[in-house]
Amino acid sequence: QVQLVESGGGLVQAGDSLILSCAVSGGTFSNYAVGWFRQAPGKEREFAARISRGGTSTYYTGSVKGRFTISRDNAKNAVYLQMSSLKPEDTAIYYCAADFALVLTPTPAYWGQGTQVTVSS
């Protein structure tokens, strides 16, 4: 029912900034908690950041905390991931995800198709 479409990925150099966007449709956006996961080549998918249904609470994995900022705009049915001070280790496919819940679970029910972020040194 709920559909998510990511955009904004690309090739950047270490130290650069990038903003990822996720458009959400098919449901009442304000009823869903959303977040971002990422998967590097040959690695398992890992959690990166999440934001609560009301947008009042955020949480980040240790490797991105202080460099990434997640936000949402309920009027635009969109979630964003602002990425700064990018490192080669941030290279991965980034996925937007959502749950019909107050906060995102470790295994979200809804996923986007992913967008590639490549950081060169």
**Rounded distance, CA 12 to CA 32, Å?**
31
Amino acid in position 95: Y
**Rounded distance, CA 9 to CA 115, Å?**
5
Residues 94-114 have pLDDT tens digits of 999 999 999 899 999 999 999
**Rounded distance, CA 114 to CA 96, Å?**
7
**Whether the predicted pLDDT of 1 surpasses 90:** no
Residues 47-94 have pLDDT tens digits of 999 999 989 999 999 999 999 999 999 999 999 999 999 999 999 999
Residues 28-46 have pLDDT tens digits of 999 999 999 999 999 999 9
